[in-house]
A and B are shown apart, each in its own frame.
Chain A
Amino acid sequence: MVKFLSYPKYALKSIRAKKFRFFLGVLALAIAIGMFGVSNVIIDAISLSYLPRISEQTGQVDIRVENYNITDIPPIYDYESLIDSINNLSEVAGAAPRYELPGARFQGANKNFTVTFLGIDPVREKAIGFGDLELSSPADLGVLPVNHCWVRKELAQALELEIGGQYIIEISFTNINLTLDATFVNKDMLPSSKENMILVNIETLEPFIGGPGIATEVVAQFTNRDEIYDINRPEETIAQAKTIGVLVQDAIGTGYQVYLPIASALENRGTGLVFLRILFNSLAALSLLVSGFLIFSLMTVSVEEKTREFALYRTIGAKRRQIFILVLFEASFTCLSGSVIGIGFSYLIAYFVKMFLQSSGIDIAFTLSPIMVLYSVLLGVGVAIIASLFPALRAMRKSIISGLNPLKADEPDLKLVRDRGPNKTLFLVGFSISIASGLIFLLIPIMTVSSSDTLFFTILLMLFFGFGFGLSLIIVGVVEPLVENLFLFIIKPIFKKTNKIVHMFLKRNRRRNAITAMMFIVSFGTTMVISTTFLVQDQGLIENIGTITGSDITLFDSTYDINGSEIMDEIVEEFDDVISGSFSTLPISSVLTGLWSVAGDQIFFESYGVSVLGVPSNFIEPLYDDLIVYSEGTDAMFDDLQGNNTVIISTALAKELELGIGDTLRLKLLTLNPVLIELGYTHDVFLDIVGVASKLPGMSGIHEQERFASGSTILIGEDTWSYLTDLDFQDSAYRIFLETSSHEAAETVGIELRRRYESNALFVLIEKELVDRISEDNQTRVVLVNVMMVFTIVIALFGVFASTYSNVAESHKTIGILKAIGLKNRDVDGIFILESTILTISSCLLGGLMGYFLGYYLYLIDAIEQEWNIPLVAPPLISILSFVFAIVLAGLGAFIATRVISRKSASELIRVE
């Protein structure tokens, strides 16, 4: 065997000869590896901050023991023995009782306020250390004497309370005097939904709740909670928490239920983080794919250039295998360098992100683990091997004779090419991949019941990307050449001289151009599909949010113990900016638990379960007018509704029952509860239909399509309500709708209402605030995704540079001939700039369009399902900017590459072989 020159030495020599090409390859891979590293570092950092955010909502409570049997009042007797049983477990650090007592009236300095008490055992709470409660000095967490209390700082300010002051609280028709010891700021000790409660020693409540040892819940913490909670392994975390939960349940026996608030929140939302990690890694994988295309393109050119050199090696005894290894070594050197620099990028970008977050007051620890470094290097080398495999095989298989005599060789590029038309092979491959990945649409329903979220998201994304990749291949093979020809046709009158030559170059470089087009289509397609999905879904939600909220401000009486209409009248009277107000009741079946409602035709030939809600005559006044759609009737139907035995039904129900205005609907209220039967709630009434509505804002049960008939909402007025329920209509107001003079006024009024009324009993929803929040969240996500995608596009741009650079290098002779015929230097520049611009525009445009429509399509399914309006959303600005940026840079890159050739004389160019 012939001893061959050292492979690394040869690779270095080759790289030195083509420094620019090496630079492009290294930079592209470095960006891709950098993105891979950074996205993982950022996700790790987000994950680390995710648990504290969950804790904010749940308090630092790992275990909660409750009694959900509502007939047992009070729920927990003898909490001491319960706590003893729990404390016997080594897995639990400690447990404490809490008692939640709603419905008390706090008499402030000059205001009354409905409050809920939270009775705690201060000594146990301090010993366990559930988060922190920042108390105004000199109070101490372990000391809260009987008949003393702590109040949330903001609430104390709203009620104008003073520390040391004595206040009267009315509980169950008796009064209690409480001394305010301190105000507090909740730092994760209490769930955010409970921080408006008045904190007292649990013993303070004993006279009102039936004596000592009684609690509504017992809360506890795990011993090794830091080890148990690992956001990166949500499934294992949940499993471990459940194991301890089972141990606690065993220890306390039956009768009480164990809940795991943090694990449960993780189960509900932690999977979102898994999805985010998989999504970001997919994007990083996409940029790796694009850089793989680039390496492939560079190595193909390199191999083509060295055809004669390799043939010479073989004539002096080199084996085919050795040629193969030479090519692989060259690619591996490029990729290894790219990986190492990419890891450096990861550190650098992570550092800047950390600095940025610190300046925004967020301190997150970033770490790039050695395993991530190892993965990065392996990925880089993996990309090198895969991307250079085909060029290496091509170099290895080339015959010596054709290598030594390139003019006689059967070069594929010189094969008969009539036109740059559709490519059947690419179409067939793309079609097959799309069809195979199109299984996504069949698998989604099956996979939604799959137990593993990670597996679900991974397969889902893989299939989705596979589908997109297949579509991209079809576009590259069929549509892109046609679009190129279309562009050439359009620009023909402007570029008369060079049009033909550009067409010729596009034909000649079709293989390389297909790879470049693929890079752009994949990059732009993915950018657009993700950002359009986010944008359209959020815009859709914003445009349709009114159908959920109903009006500018919506108040929910969640405990159903407030006279809603009274509060509404107060608000309308007091706030000048509130133009009108109305309300709706809870469904009858919710007010009278154990009851269900069935609506049908006269003989119940057809019938459907419905929700029956009461509304006043001015119901629609504060609602968004543009979202109200009637299929029969006018606004006057709500006046007609107030008479006895009248009803407004949804179009969905009307269609199914084939009923309309003037017809009679039969409504039956059913129950198996003997008490309700005895009270006479089981009515069977005939109601005259006075209106049919397709859409009513705030009423999620009013729909148009027949498929929504079951579960549909029907509306009744005051008289019918009173007849059916025997309850006071005004008093039954559950949701209060308020119309304000402007969006800004809605926000101001809403915030004031929240300050004044919001407690766990009343919840204020401000439409503008919701819209703003959606927009903000959307912006952050879209920017984040797009920033990642811009990097991918930059790699694709390298592809254009590399392609033009190689094109220029291969075109010396052709340009020499054309110059000899009379082509001017500026026309030479024009040819290459035009070629690269047409390629960039057509592929970016097609990729963008593909992504845009795919993104829209995903929303369409949702919108149709929910009967939502479909918003018109322009492509995200950043994508349009990327598009312009790509075109300008591609043109500029071509101009720079062309300088080499346009400055040379025709004779110099012709001499080059």
Chain B
Amino acid sequence: MSTEKQAVVVNNNSAVIVKVEDLHKSYFLGKTAIPALRGIDFELTRGEFCSIMGPSGCGKTTLLNIIGGIDRPDRGLVQFEGVELTTLSDNELADLRLDKISFVFQFYNLLPLLSAQENVEVPMVFRGDSRSSREQRANELLALVGLKGRENHLPTELSGGEQQRVSISRAMANNPDLMICDEPSGDLDSASAKVILKLLNDLNKDMGMTILMVTHDRRTAKVCDRILHMLDGKIVQEEATPGIEGSILDDSIED
């Protein structure tokens, strides 16, 4: 536990984007409470690429959901850019998600009846952007992720990796401050996974995007600057990963 506390202290500076203190959350199966988070403390600095690792059911996704403002904790504090999320109303949280925080899901979660470009445009539609600016930005983002020429394809006409790239473009649409990725390569083959991780890494390194990612895979996690290990609803270990050696992006390692 001393390692955890230390990590919080280390990251506690003015560039802190997310601050979590003593976070608790339980789910109920009938009348039985199943604790998912049992006192989480950590901070995330602006421009950081951080991953959370741990076995199934350890509370990784719950933690992401609470930080992303799509779920609420039972107890504890969650601050995003100094704003306490637990005090925000549903509408204020929705605005926060629209402007500051975005999600990339394991199963892409694209809207099946909208084309790639339309999917990317959805957050901009919600924000009220004009049609021309939406189209221009969507096309730029799709080109950025290497999907130029596939704008009008429906999700069912795209491969898994391509769908995830559309999903990342959608997450980038409103220039968020934080991108939350829940196992973004979990449903992909290794080649596609590599493309996605490279994309996320480039976004972080070239554009300074803060990314918080959940993964099962250690090689995927090693792409990040820091790995938080979770077990039974707690952060049990923090690990700094300075380079990409040994990661999925390390070309010296055979897939």
Contacts and interface: CB of A to CB of B under 8 A. Distances in A.
A908 B65 CA distance: 10
A822 B156 contact: no
A414 B114 CA distance: 11
B32 interface: no
B97 A820 contact: yes
B90 A824 contact: yes
A497 B99 CA distance: 15
A819 interface: yes
A705 B157 CA distance: 66
A884 B218 CA distance: 61
Contact of A814 (B65, B72, B105, B111): B111
A46 to B, nearest CB: 53
A242 interface: no
Contacts of B62: 907
Interface in A820-871: 820-827
Interface string B160-172: 0000000000100
A822 B112 contact: no
Interface residues of A, number: 31
Contacts of B157: 416
Contact of B70 (A416, A417, A824, A905): A905
A906 B70 contact: yes
Given A821-B103, A906-B71, A496 B128 contact: yes
Contacts of B95: 822
Given A818-B122, A905-B71, A905-B72, A823 B113 contact: no
A820 B103 contact: yes
Nearest to B100: A822
Interface stretch (A500-508, A577-585, A596-604): A500-508
A821 B98 contact: yes
B15 interface: no
A98 interface: no
B90 A813 contact: no
Given A496-B125, A822-B126, A906-B71, A817 B109 contact: yes
Interface string A869-913: 000000000000000000000000000000000000111101000
A497 B70 contact: no
A819 B70 contact: yes
A822 B97 contact: yes
Interface string A779-806: 0000000000000000000000000000
A277 B93 CA distance: 62
Contact of B125 (A500, A814, A826): A500
A822 B70 CA distance: 10
A814 B109 CA distance: 8
A817 B97 CA distance: 11
A496 B118 CA distance: 14
Nearest to A827: B126
A908 B107 CA distance: 16
A818 B126 CA distance: 9
Nearest to A418: B154
Main secondary structure of the interface of B (DSSP, over half): helix
Contacts of B109: 813, 817, 910
B9 interface: no
Interface in A146-197: none
Given A416-B157, A825-B91, A817 B111 contact: yes
Given A414-B156, A500-B118, A820-B70, A825 B90 contact: yes
B68 interface: yes
A497 B91 contact: no
Nearest to B121: A500
Interface string A79-106: 0000000000000000000000000000
Contacts of B158: none
B123 to A, nearest CB: 5
A821 B90 contact: no
Nearest to A503: B113
Contacts of B111: 501, 504, 814, 817-818
B97 A824 contact: no
B88 interface: no
Contact of A500 (B68, B112, B122): B122
Contacts of B154: 416
B94 interface: yes
A822 B98 contact: yes
A504 B114 contact: yes
Interface in B170-193: 170, 174
Contacts of A818: 111, 122
Contact of A823 (B65, B94, B102): B94
Contacts of A496: 125, 128
Nearest to B131: A496
5 contacts: A496-B128, A500-B114, A819-B94, A820-B103, A821-B103
Query: 9 shortest A-B CB distances, which residue pairs?
Result: A822-B98, A906-B70, A907-B71, A907-B65, A822-B97, A817-B109, A907-B70, A824-B94, A504-B113
Given A507-B113, A817-B111, 19 more contacts: A407-B107, A416-B156, A496-B128, A500-B118, A501-B111, A504-B114, A817-B109, A818-B111, A820-B68, A820-B70, A820-B97, A821-B97, A822-B94, A822-B98, A822-B123, A824-B94, A905-B72, A907-B65, A908-B71
